[in-house]
Amino acid sequence: MSLVGFMQAGNATVYSGSWRHPATEHGFLSASYYQKLGRTLEEGCFDLMFFDDRLAMPGVYGGSVAEAVLRGARPVKLDLSVVLGVVAAATRSIGLGATYSTTYYSPFHVARTFATLDHLSEGRAAWNVVTSINDSEAQNFGLSEHLGHDERYDRADEFLEATTGLWDTWEDDALVLDRENGIFADPDKVHELNYEGDWYKVRGPLTVPRTPQGRPVLLQAGSSGRGLAFAARWAELIFTGDPGIEVARSHYAEQKAKIAEAGRDPDAVKMLPMAYTVIGESEDHAREREQLFLNDLVHPMASLTLLSELMNYDFSGIELDAPITDELIESSSGVRGLVKNLRANFGGETMTLADLAGHRATLLQGPRFVGTATSVADQMEEWFDTAACDGFVLAATHSPGAYEDVVRLVVPELQRRGVFRDRYTGTTLRDHLGLVRP
């Protein structure tokens, strides 16, 4: 089983009420907080800690960021390459993943950032490829609105061709470092790229030699038709947001078939659903904690704010009991796949805005494993053993406590059962994930 920590470099986890939890540490502006998180997950032999990102405060709802600021609905997002740099210095084995947008960064910038991180971390870097989701982000980069959904993916294909090309501009043995003869590197082994697409032109070479992993690991989480095809072509680790085990099994089979169709080995690409864990000393204790962690702390306005952000749709003019129709979903240019799945599985045609907002407050989607350490391990194993996933990307109800609970209570149980490693056997993230070096 692969385990990934779903991290946020900001004031709240994906659960927008997390900052209000009494056990949450408000260390999100300090290096030591992220270093401690890294060390905790490394103690639990996690494959990777991965940080999500957005390039704007949530400002789609009512055309204003006021509610996001007031309610702490994720208004703070730090720069991830700096955060991962300090975590790299405090850890030795755990993989380090960051989200960078193909819509708002450039291939050279992204290739250089992750190649640098791969060197400085000695082979632990991963890039979560996203196309970004809303107009608030566009408005921070000189555009008035976000590009259309499928066009973003077309651009992302080119972006990846250019970025992976840049990572290959240095051959593995290009560095010579011969002091005596004054030969630094072999010019026959450092190549221009001369990439020319419809959107990008990059000459190259990259200014960073080929990295310990050959290339950083590519993460992706597309769930629409176009997103699945993109992931099948590029992703080495896929994040999903499936609401239940049946949906997850069919998504798993569909995505793995698409990977095979794309000419790649489906077993080499792991699929990990996002999941929350709430662990208690007894089942009742766990339920009480669930109520507190996931239901009582979130403000309804924070939910609507984040829902508008996610779907790139201003819900401020819509009644709470209005149904979520196909037309509404299609007219949003944000994360359509997730909302479609959620509606299909929870409310069908009768799902209302209030129902949808309720899910965004707590879970977005994905399983919620609640119980004692033994029963949480049972639930995780059931998903893992029945072709619903290859592991999990674990979100936190509060931080760092939720990660500490998993590491100290559930991981030992999974290790006893022989489904999870009890030590790192390799040194790079590719080693942990069983991925070949390109």
Applying CB under 6 A, the residues found at the interface with ligand FMN are 6, 52-54, 99, 130, 132-133, 221-224, 227, 239-241, 274, 335-338, 393
Residue 88 or 274: the one with the smaller Cβ distance to ligand FMN is 274
What does the alpha-carbon distance between residue 187 and residue 182 come to, in Å, rounded to a whole number? 13
Residue 18 or 372: the one with the smaller Cβ distance to ligand FMN is 18
Residue 243 or 337: the one with the smaller Cβ distance to ligand FMN is 337
Residue showing the smallest CB distance to ligand FMN in the complex: 227
Q: Least Å distance between CB 147 and ligand FMN?
A: 12
Beta strands in 223-325 (DSSP E): 237-240, 270-279
Cα-based distances in Å from 162 to 53, 148, 154, 199, 236:
22, 21, 13, 10, 17
Beta strand 195-196 with 201-202: parallel, antiparallel or unpaired?
Answer: antiparallel
What does the alpha-carbon distance between residue 369 and residue 371 come to, in Å, rounded to a whole number? 7
Residue 235 or 298: the one with the smaller Cβ distance to ligand FMN is 235
Q: Least Å distance between CB 221 and ligand FMN?
A: 4
Q: Least Å distance between CB 335 and ligand FMN?
A: 4
Residue 174 or 342: the one with the smaller Cβ distance to ligand FMN is 342
Residue 276 or 384: the one with the smaller Cβ distance to ligand FMN is 276
Q: Least Å distance between CB 343 and ligand FMN?
A: 14
What does the alpha-carbon distance between residue 196 and residue 282 come to, in Å, rounded to a whole number? 60
Q: Least Å distance between CB 265 and ligand FMN?
A: 22
Residue 155 or 336: the one with the smaller Cβ distance to ligand FMN is 336
Q: Least Å distance between CB 137 and ligand FMN?
A: 8
Buried b (16+ CB within 10 A) or exposed e, 70-108: ebbbbbbbbebbebbbbbbeebebbbbbbbbbbbbbebb
Residue 251 or 432: the one with the smaller Cβ distance to ligand FMN is 251
What does the alpha-carbon distance between residue 344 and residue 349 come to, in Å, rounded to a whole number? 8
Q: Least Å distance between CB 370 and ligand FMN?
A: 19
Q: Least Å distance between CB 6 and ligand FMN?
A: 6
Q: Least Å distance between CB 7 and ligand FMN?
A: 10
Nearest to 70 by CA among 27, 20, 131: 20
Residue 136 or 169: the one with the smaller Cβ distance to ligand FMN is 136
Please answer whether residues 194 and 204 qualify as being in contact, where contact means their C-beta atoms are separated by less than 8 angstroms.
Answer: yes
What does the alpha-carbon distance between residue 199 and residue 184 come to, in Å, rounded to a whole number? 34
Q: Least Å distance between CB 422 and ligand FMN?
A: 26
Whether the upstream peptide bond of residue 205 has omega within 30° of 0, thus cis, is yes
Residue 107 or 273: the one with the smaller Cβ distance to ligand FMN is 273
3-class state of residue 394 by DSSP: strand
Instruction: Tell me the H-state helices in 91-238.
Output: 107-120, 135-139, 149-167, 225-234
Q: Least Å distance between CB 310 and ligand FMN?
A: 8
Please answer whether residues 348 and 386 qualify as being in contact, where contact means their C-beta atoms are separated by less than 8 angstroms.
Answer: no
The full DSSP string for 55-105 is SS----GGG-SHHHHHHTSS-----HHHHHHHHHHH-SSSEEEEEEETTTS
Q: Which amino acid is at 96?
A: L
Residue 153 or 420: the one with the smaller Cβ distance to ligand FMN is 153
Q: Report the Cα 230 to chain-centroid distance in Å.
A: 15
